[in-house]
Amino acid sequence: MQHAVQRITDANFDQEVLASAVPVLIDFWAETCVPCRLQEPTIQRLARELEGRAKVGRLDVYDNPRTTDAFRVRGVPHLAVIRGGEVVLELVGGHSLEQLRDRLRSVDL
């Protein structure tokens, strides 16, 4: 059983995200981003809540430029839900736990 937030990188993106049997919520973030750090506990909570239904990962935008560019991430925090290799939801900016739960429910998570 895993409920920890996984580290997603350019190197493991294809295997951990595109080939995932379950949807993946990715938190694109940066160490220098205060809203990203404030949202981290919420992401940890969602990882526990989504256990068994989805994978949750964080990708540092400065350390992983290929994936960051591919998703056209221009601001952080930037959240994306990928299901079957397709982006089904994107959210930019900080969000409360309830806001994120509502948006995730809209894509059946």
Q: Is 36 assigned a catalytic role?
A: yes
d(CA 20, CA 54): 9
Selecting among 36, 46, 47, 59, the annotated active-site residue is 36
Say if residue 104 is exposed, middle or buried (CB neighbours under 10 Å; 0-12, 13-18, 19+): buried
Please answer whether residues 4 and 47 qualify as being in contact, where contact means their C-beta atoms are separated by less than 8 angstroms.
yes
DSSP reduced 3-state for 60: strand
Selecting among 33, 80, 82, 104, the annotated active-site residue is 33
Q: Is 33 assigned a catalytic role?
A: yes
Q: Which residues are catalytic?
A: 33, 36
